[in-house]
């Protein structure tokens, strides 16, 4: 190639772009988000991360089907409570941890589940503000809804297709003060990462979505 020649410059640009596409672990989805103008006045002090709402029409399952893989997962699951391929629980744990890293105070998931009981989200939001806050022991709640979870291409190219939305609700006003969405898009991880561990895919979604939430 001839240095400083226009064709050389174009070829170099194409080469750099190709390298980027094949090196990155999947293209990131654009994350639409909205922060309420009153966020500063109603900034959460204590957040309850609610159970995941599944709107896919199917169970949110991990991709383990191979007998050998299943045995490996069973060993991993028995090694400690933090290792799990439970999709809803993995989402909630990751969200809790992410909020904590952003300096928010979050309730333990076990405490939230005990206080929520069999109540649905709408049941809590219908309560007077004081009652809802007293019930949860929090001044805001975080809702998560999964609209799509497709693992059919996971074994072939380390990819899961996900669609999800998240919202932070101020219990005093019952208004959404932050919301964001992972549009229907593929989530890929690096070839060196274990394709069967859903936490890697969930981490990518939560990290990118919650990057739009203001730091406390």
Measured CA to CA, the distance from residue 74 to residue 16 in angstroms comes to 42
First to last CA, the chain: 52
- Summary mean pLDDT of the chain: 81
Measured CA to CA, the distance from residue 86 to residue 90 in angstroms comes to 6
Hey, which residues does 166 pair with through a beta bridge? 144, 180
CA angle 110, 112, 118 (to 5 degrees): 100
pLDDT by position in tens, the chain (length 216): 444 544 444 444 433 343 333 333 444 457 999 999 999 999 999 999 999 999 999 888 776 544 445 455 555 555 444 445 689 999 999 999 999 999 999 999 999 999 999 999 999 999 999 999 999 999 999 999 999 998 887 767 778 899 999 999 999 999 999 999 999 888 877 666 666 678 888 999 999 999 999 998
Amino acid 32: pLDDT: 95
Burial class (CB in 10 A: 0-12, 13-18, 19+), 148: middle
Global confidence as pTM? 0.77
Amino acid 8: pLDDT: 42
% pLDDT > 70, the chain: 72
CB crowding 35-70: b at 16 or more within 10 Å, else e? ebeebeebbbebbbbbbbebeeeeebebbbeeeeee
Amino acid 129: pLDDT: 96
Find all residues with CB under 8 Å of 156, minimum gap 6, and list them: none
Measured CA to CA, the distance from residue 54 to residue 88 in angstroms comes to 8
Amino acid 73: pLDDT: 52
H/E stretch holding 150: strand 140-150
- 196-201: long-range contacts at Cβ-Cβ below 8 A with a sequence spacing of 24 or more? 196/62, 196/63, 196/64, 196/69, 196/73, 196/85, 196/154, 197/85, 198/62, 198/63, 198/85, 198/87, 198/90, 198/160, 199/84, 199/85, 199/90, 199/94, 201/160, 201/162
Query: What pLDDT, in 10s, does the model give residues 60-83?
Result: 877 654 444 545 555 555 544 444
Please give the class, per CATH, of domain 32-210. Answer: alpha beta
Amino acid 27: pLDDT: 44
């Amino acid at each position: 190639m001839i240095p400083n020649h226009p064709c050389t410059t174009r070829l170099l640009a194409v080469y750099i772009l190709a390298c980027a596409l094949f090196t990155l672990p999947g293209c990131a989805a654009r994350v639409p988000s909205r922060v309420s103008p009153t966020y500063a006045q109603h900034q959460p002090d204590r957040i309850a991360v609610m159970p995941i709402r599944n709107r896919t029409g199917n169970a949110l399952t991990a991709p383990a089907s191979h007998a050998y893989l299943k045995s490996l997962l069973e060993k991993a699951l028995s090694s400690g409570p933090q290792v799990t391929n439970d999709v809803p629980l993995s989402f909630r744990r990751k969200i809790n941890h992410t909020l904590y890293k952003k300096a928010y105070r979050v309730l333990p998931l076990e405490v939230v589940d005990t206080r929520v009981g069999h109540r649905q989200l709408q049941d809590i939001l219908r309560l007077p503000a004081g009652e809802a806050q007293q019930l949860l022991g929090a001044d805001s709640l975080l809702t998560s809804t999964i609209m799509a979870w497709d693992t059919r291409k996971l074994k072939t190219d380390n990819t899961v297709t996900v669609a999800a939305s998240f919202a932070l609700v101020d219990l005093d006003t019952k208004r959404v003060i932050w919301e964001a969405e992972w549009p229907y898009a593929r989530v890929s991880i690096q070839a060196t990462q274990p394709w069967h561990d859903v936490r890697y895919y969930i981490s990518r979604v939560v990290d990118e979505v919650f990057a739009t939430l203001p730091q406390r």
